Amino acid sequence: MDRILEFKSFDWWESDDLIKWPANSFYSWENIEVRKNLSALQLSPLLEDTGWIFDASITFIANLETLWVPNWWIVVCLKNWKIFLNWAFKTTLVSATTAHNRVYWIWVNEDLTWTQYVYYVTWTSFWAWKIHRSTTDLDPNLFVVGFKAYTVSSWNTWFVWVINNVWLMYIAVKNKVFLMEQDEIVQTYLTLPDNEWIKWFTQFQWRFKIYTSIWNTGVQYIWNWVSTAVLYRQEWINLPVLWVVNNWAYDYAVLWPSSQYSNLYLISWTQKQLLKANLSTASYSRILWQYLSIRDWIIYINWWKSWQSQNEWIYTYWNYYPWTKKSLVQSYSWLNIQWFLQQVHTDQTSYFAADDNKVYTISHINPPSYVATWYVITNMYQGFIWEEKNLNFLKVWFKLNGWSIKIYARTEMNLSVETTWNLIKTIDNATYWSKKSVRIDNNEVIRSWVNLWTFNEIQFKFELNSDIWWWNTPLLYNTTVWLTTLNNK
């Protein structure tokens, strides 16, 4: 009795379970795009090094375009108090009474003369915080260092969030929300319990949502932005707030119940819905990290590397077509970076700061540059355990566009180590440039020194190879596998 496996669509989630999974999901992949081209696998756009090299760690980056400044400049702030506009050095924040001028948020506002300025909120030292000011072109001669000062009741606070609401700039630090109006006077506007730490601050219409954490508990507040008291408060036991990003009426939050796993939630007003649950303490659990951002309804999430890869990952949650479901998949990865940090976006480009003191970018302009060599791994097929099978043949439909596709297989998986993949076929351009399909028979697999005579389970890996300077990507449309059952006793 034959079994037929068909792999032609991977537009769903990456599976945490090794055997059971929803239709169209997959075991893992790196840098493969499926949402835009529903008929084929293709390489994702290339995550590129901008070449901006800095001499200290990046504490904050901001895109002035999203702050209503009509340009595409990226402001980069460093731990050693230096400020850059893209790669160009502008100034160093130093004053006689300031020990630490580390920028943790940037916003643009207008003063009473309707002049636009860029404001830099910094943690200085102990309980003192300062706001610096520059013109929108960051003219070093017009920087005002130590423009405003205010006090926070904790010296070890390094999180700050800013929201601008009709020329009112709200600054959330520790357990307080400060207000700077157009007259540029800073005043305390809302005070929460002293044992709470504000972890995020979002706005939709005339309501604010403030997220705090108390040790292992997350707290959500609803606030009307004018009252000195909150309208609503709720606690989430064992779900401290790690990071939140706003998408109009909805918030997406990473809540961290343990150092071994974290979950992604959709928050609609005061109700939260679990979107992604990571397996508790599992070696193959993929751990969400603490940086989220949004561009054109796409949620970008930093992700810890899993046991499957040494690369750092950026996941995205979205759907390209309205009739397809949203999915959370690994979209981009990079070698040898310990952490991707903050993220900012323009319509055409995304920027990612990393802890190697560099900024990396992804172009969303068509056609983009593509990554060189990446892969997708199917889930492990496991039929009836009493059936022994062998590989009869495969048939693959593709378009090379001048490059190559490699097909691998393995018949067992070891969670403690990465099991060796066996190369079944290289569909190279020299031989198959004019072909649209190829049949791979069992005798060709055997000649490749791959022993697939008998097995109970099988898994495939498809590797797409291109050139990082080329605009095309190979396309893998469909792979159909025929298995023969040798016995059913």
Structural domains of the chain, with CATH = 2-44+375-487 (2.60.120), 47-366 (2.130.10.10)
> Tell me, what's the pLDDT at 154?
66
Summarised one tens digit per residue, pLDDT across range 116-128 is 999 999 876 667 7
> Tell me, what's the pLDDT at 184?
92
Residue 195 to residue 409: CA distance in whole angstroms: 54
H/E stretch holding 118: strand 116-125
> Tell me, what's the pLDDT at 202?
94
**Residue 247: beta bridge partners?**
250
Residue found under tokens 């469909």: 478
H/E stretch holding 431: helix 429-432
**Residue 460: beta bridge partners?**
409
> Tell me, what's the pLDDT at 315?
87
Instruction: Tell me the two tokens of residue 263.
Output: 């979950």
**Residue 268: beta bridge partners?**
250, 271
Strand 261-268 to 144-151 pairing: unpaired
H/E stretch holding 443: helix 442-447
> What separation in angstroms does the CA of 319 have from each of 189, 323, 350, 404, 476?
39, 9, 18, 28, 20
Summarised one tens digit per residue, pLDDT across range 234-254 is 999 999 998 999 999 999 999
Say how many Å lie between the first and final Cα of the chain, rounded.
13
Starting at the edge strand found earlier in the chain, the sheet holding 160-165 runs 160-165, 168-173, 176-180, 186-191
> Please, what sign has the CA dihedral across residues 7, 13, 14, 19?
negative
DSSP string, 301-367: EEE---TT-SSEEEEEEE-SSTTSPPEEEEEEEETT-S-EEEEEE-SSEEEEEETTTEEEEEE-SSS
> What separation in angstroms does the CA of 168 have from each of 107, 119, 147, 165?
11, 13, 17, 5
> Tell me, what's the pLDDT at 304?
67
Summarised one tens digit per residue, pLDDT across range 30-47 is 888 888 888 999 988 888
| Amino acid, single-letter form, for residue 220 | Q
Instruction: Tell me the two tokens of residue 412.
Output: 């067992």
Give the chain's residues under pLDDT 70.
1, 18, 95-101, 124-126, 154-158, 259-260, 280-285, 304-310, 335-338, 340, 366-367, 414-419, 447-453, 468-470, 488-489
Peptide bond into 257 cis (omega under 30): no
> Tell me, what's the pLDDT at 191?
94
54 in helix, strand or coil? coil
Residue found under tokens 């994702």: 44
| Amino acid, single-letter form, for residue 136 | T
Residue 214 to residue 205: CA distance in whole angstroms: 27
Question: Which among 37, 28, 49, 39 is positioned nearest to 374, based on CA atoms?
Answer: 28
